[in-house]
Amino acid sequence: MPENTKSGTKARLYDAFAASGKALASGKRLELLDLLAQGERTVDALAKAAGLNLTTASAHLQTLKQAGFVATRREGVRIHYRLAGDDVAQLFALLRKVAETHQAAVPAARDSYLGEDAAGELSREELRVRIAAGDVVVLDVRPVEEYRAGHIPGAISIPVEELAERINELPEDMETVVYCRGEYCVLAYDAVRLLTDRGRQAIRLNDGMLEWRLSELPVDASDLT
């Protein structure tokens, strides 16, 4: 093959790679991927969760679909979106970690968003050991629909906005381990601050449901505990 032909085909290949990068070049599209990593959702639900109007949410989702990052199914007049595969979730998780490591603005933005964190945290493996020992309560503070789509086995579901009113559903004599969507999810931070302010023993899982799934750890779905 002539060199100029090879150069042209190589350019097309790298342009195809770049199309994926372009689809990720939006904070709101990354937020939509974060939401879809928790489970399938309708356009309406995604728009509400991401603070977008329907037209803007649909446009972002179409961009992600054209790049092959999301897939759809139709149920009547409703269109449901989901991640196209676990590899998309892995890419999203890796992108965040690489950005935190190499982009100077990320740590400061992370700390500003998540807030001060005086409480401790524990790893997935440490949590599994403590679950087996039966000495902790595991609390999922994501929205109920995300809990139903998949949660850590045995976890109690109390969405963070309901926690203040439902705190008495948690035993007072056990430490509560809180988790939410992933490592950068503010819901767990807010929940731990609320629990400790109320005199409860509370600690965070150091990541969340995204990383739990990607580690291929056991996941329960549908039931509410």
Please state, for a pLDDT cut of 90, what percent of the chain lies above it: 90
CB 188 within 8 A of CB 178: yes
Instruction: Tell me the pLDDT band of 173, cut-offs 50, 70 and 90.
Output: very high
State which H helix or E strand residue 202 sits in. strand 202-208
Six token digits for residue 155 = 């976890």
Instruction: Tell me the pLDDT band of 3, cut-offs 50, 70 and 90.
Output: low
180 is catalytic: yes
Q: Give the model confidence (pLDDT) of 174-196 as tens digits.
A: 999 999 999 999 999 999 999 99
Q: Give the model confidence (pLDDT) of 72-106 as tens digits.
A: 999 998 999 999 999 999 999 999 999 999 999 99
Instruction: Tell me the pLDDT band of 1, cut-offs 50, 70 and 90.
Output: low
Q: Give the model confidence (pLDDT) of 40-80 as tens digits.
A: 999 999 999 999 999 999 999 999 999 999 999 999 989 99
Which residue is associated with the tokens 């759809």?
A: 72
User: How high is the mean pLDDT of the chain?
Assistant: 94
State which H helix or E strand residue 14 sits in. helix 3-23
CB 58 within 8 A of CB 43: yes
Helices (H), 26-85: 27-36, 43-50, 54-66
Instruction: Tell me the pLDDT band of 129, cut-offs 50, 70 and 90.
Output: very high
Instruction: Tell me the pLDDT band of 224, cut-offs 50, 70 and 90.
Output: low
Active site residue: 136, 138, 163, 180, which one?
180
